[in-house]
Amino acid sequence: MKILITTKYIDKKGWYDYFSENSKSLFRTLFYHKVHYGLRFIKQNVPQIEVLEFPTWEQYCRTLAQGWDVVGFSFHTMDWPRILPMVEQAKKAKVSQVWGGNYGVLDPVAAPHFDRVFTGYCEQALAEIFGHKIERLRHPPLVDQWYIRPSPLKVQRVGIIQTQRGCPLNCSFCQTPAFAPGVSTVPIESVEEVLAWYRKNGVRWIGVYDEHFGVKKEHTMKVLELFRKYGLFWTAQTAAATALANLDLWRRHNLMGLGLGVESFDCRALAAWNKSAKTSQTVREVTAKLHEASLYAGGYYILGHEEATFASTLEEIETLDSLGLDFVQTTILTPFPQTPLWEHLEKSYGIFEKDRGFFDTKHLTWNHPAMSADQLEKLLYYACLRLNRPGRFFPFMARVFGAYAGHLGSYSRALALALSFPYNSLRFNENAPYFK
């Protein structure tokens, strides 16, 4: 059976840049999202399947013309306006079946368009189609190339790793509990295989992309030992309470910094979202500890909870600024299908937005009782300007350098390491291969 799995199409060189969505500063980090982590996991573990990452429309049509039994789409809710015409094109091309996967298929608007949908991580289900069982899930090399704007120079190769999948918490705005309930671990042999490859191939910075790093304690400990064994420096996203409980341990194992969910300062919002009322206090404590150790702290924040007004949101932005986070991802409260938040907002206020392209957490999609879409989107723009200003970026860079020096035991070793990054970016192929 010939199976192709693809992502949404993009405009020529229209790769997603996470940092430009959150920072309006001339000086910032930049990386184009060219590697689709989920698709590469599939290809690594089910090599019979072909994958196509972020094609242009023309590339997609050319690939479709090669003839496929199945075309599958991996997408998020906001990708739907681009996925739908791709699905229609596949049907026109007489593909026998179209399949859907990833968080996007939780949406009842999207799901009926597919002959088969896969929720959750689906390598095993795909392998079974070819009559085999995955004995050990392998982790493919996933390398992103980072730049520092406005310089066009390649600065750092960043290796992505996933050590655990899913999250045991139930934040009411989050789709993870519906997508991947429970927590599973990626086999430690596979984690070691990819970390060893990173070290050999000029990657020293590791981004841990677990939904919630540190949940499985024993497994996390083994991963930490591997970071130290291979001399890799790492960063992860996690809950503030998990960070606080583990900070000293993680610091001793080459931690560079953390992304922390602040979410809100308003206790009513935190209660409605099933978050602890102490979250922001814990983030303040963790941030201070990280900064003391010259490690960076990033944060995630949601504007526009139902009690918020224009004036109170301006105050929230100032309070958020006072945390001194090095980088903040600010979003607008967005309901996603199959979350308790969706049901609540739909029932209490109504979700007016029909275009799924606006469910990107940067637009207002429901009837806020006190603010218009225009007001909230202006506040978001202001927050991006205010929080991620150049005055925050340069201390962040100094912290990163200080963290390398701390872990390596001297500033000269840190300098030698930093100088090797651009060289390694030129020396190694940007597109990482799969393991044989």
Stretch that binds ligand SF4, among 85-93, 104-112, 164-172, 397-405 (CB under 6 A): 164-172
- As measured in angstroms, the least distance from the Cβ of 241 to ligand SF4 is 10
Interaction pattern, residues 215-234, with ligand SF4; x per rule: CB under 6 A: --------------------
Q: Answer yes or no whether residue 211 interacts with ligand SF4 by CB under 6 A.
A: yes
CA distances from 432 to 197, 386, 428 (A): 10, 37, 9
- When the beta carbons of 141 and 261 are compared against ligand SF4, the nearer one is 261
- As measured in angstroms, the least distance from the Cβ of 313 to ligand SF4 is 21
Q: Answer yes or no whether residue 303 interacts with ligand SF4 by CB under 6 A.
A: no
Q: Answer yes or no whether residue 235 interacts with ligand SF4 by CB under 6 A.
A: no
- Which one of residues 8, 36, 204, 212 is an interface residue with ligand SF4 (CB under 6 A)? 212
- As measured in angstroms, the least distance from the Cβ of 239 to ligand SF4 is 5
By C-alpha distance, which of 145, 143, 126, 142 is closest to 134? 126
- As measured in angstroms, the least distance from the Cβ of 264 to ligand SF4 is 12
Secondary structure (H, E, C), the chain: CCEEEECCCCCCCCCCEHHHHHCCCCCEEECECCCCHHHHHHHHHCCCCEEECCCCHHHHHHHHCCCCCEEEEECCHHHHHHHHHHHHHHHHCCCCEEEEECHHHHCCCCHHHCCEEECCCCHHHHHHHCCCCCCCCCCCCCEEEEEEECCCCEEEEEEEECCEECECCCCCCCCHHHHCECCEECCHHHHHHHHHHHHHCCCCEEEECCCCCCCCHHHHHHHHHHHHHCCCEEEEEECHHHHHHHHHHHHCCCEEEEEEEEECCCHHHHHHCCCCCCHHHHHHHHHHHHHHCCCEEEEEEEECCCCCCHHHHHHHHHHHHHCCCCEEEEEECCCCCCCHHHHHHHHHCCECCCCHHHCCCCCCCECCCCCCHHHHHHHHHHHHHHHCCHHHHHHHHHHHHHHHHHHHCCHHHHHHHHHHHHHHHHHCCCCCCCCC
Scan for tokens 């918020």, then name that residue: 308
Stretch that binds ligand SF4, among 55-63, 167-175, 201-209, 364-372 (CB under 6 A): 167-175
Contact 183, 165 (CB under 8 A): yes
Q: Each residue of 186-215: b (16+ CB within 10 Å) or e?
A: beeebbbbbbebbbebbbbbbbbebbbbbb
- When the beta carbons of 36 and 165 are compared against ligand SF4, the nearer one is 165
- When the beta carbons of 107 and 211 are compared against ligand SF4, the nearer one is 211
Interaction pattern, residues 169-208, with ligand SF4; x per rule: CB under 6 A: xxx--x-xx-------------------------------
Site for ligand SF4 in 390-429 (CB under 6 A): none
- When the beta carbons of 144 and 211 are compared against ligand SF4, the nearer one is 211
Torsion angle, alpha carbons of 113, 116, 120, 124, to 10 = -150
- As measured in angstroms, the least distance from the Cβ of 268 to ligand SF4 is 18
- As measured in angstroms, the least distance from the Cβ of 400 to ligand SF4 is 24
- When the beta carbons of 169 and 293 are compared against ligand SF4, the nearer one is 169
- As measured in angstroms, the least distance from the Cβ of 245 to ligand SF4 is 14
- As measured in angstroms, the least distance from the Cβ of 238 to ligand SF4 is 8
- Which one of residues 5, 160, 167, 223 is an interface residue with ligand SF4 (CB under 6 A)? 167
The size of the interface with ligand SF4 (CB under 6 A), counted in residues, is: 11
- When the beta carbons of 167 and 203 are compared against ligand SF4, the nearer one is 167
- When the beta carbons of 105 and 232 are compared against ligand SF4, the nearer one is 105
- When the beta carbons of 244 and 397 are compared against ligand SF4, the nearer one is 244
Q: How far apart are CA 164 and CA 116, in angstroms?
A: 26
Stretch that binds ligand SF4, among 41-49, 53-61, 168-176, 199-207 (CB under 6 A): 168-176
- As measured in angstroms, the least distance from the Cβ of 208 to ligand SF4 is 13
- As measured in angstroms, the least distance from the Cβ of 433 to ligand SF4 is 30
Site for ligand SF4 in 237-276 (CB under 6 A): 239, 261
Stretch that binds ligand SF4, among 22-30, 129-137, 163-171, 427-435 (CB under 6 A): 163-171
Residues near 132 by Cβ (< 8 Å), separated by ≥ 6? none
- When the beta carbons of 183 and 221 are compared against ligand SF4, the nearer one is 183
- As measured in angstroms, the least distance from the Cβ of 51 to ligand SF4 is 25
Q: Which residues bind ligand SF4 (CB under 6 A)?
A: 167, 169-171, 174, 176-177, 211-212, 239, 261
